[in-house]
Amino acid sequence: MRTLTIALLASLLALPALADETQTQLKDAPGRDKVEGNCAACHSLDYIQMNSPFMNAATWDAEVKKMIKAMGAPISDADAKAIKEYLVKNYGG
């Protein structure tokens, strides 16, 4: 019972911090809507900006393929192409 009380209290204390979280704003360019619509459905868009210094065209291509094949993201071929092009042009490549 004590553990449950502590966990509940910790959760309540963390709520204000979550409320102040700002949403990542991606660069305004063709394909951004596809990235926001597909990628943000499963994870934060912060990953794009955090990883962009390390990414090039081949690694962005591999990431998009991984999300579709390994993670099961329901992304159409047309959207996948637009996402890869957007990421390469705006976040490394």
- Angle (CA) 72 78 83, round 5°: 70
The predicted model scores a pTM of 0.74
Q: Show pLDDT as tens, one digit a residue, over the chain (93 residues).
A: 767 677 666 666 665 555 555 678 999 999 999 999 999 999 999 999 999 999 999 999 999 999 999 999 999 999 999 999 999 999 986
Question: What is the rounded distance in angstroms from the CA atom of residue 64 to the CA atom of residue 75?
Answer: 9
Q: Which CATH architecture has domain 23-90?
A: Orthogonal Bundle (1.10)
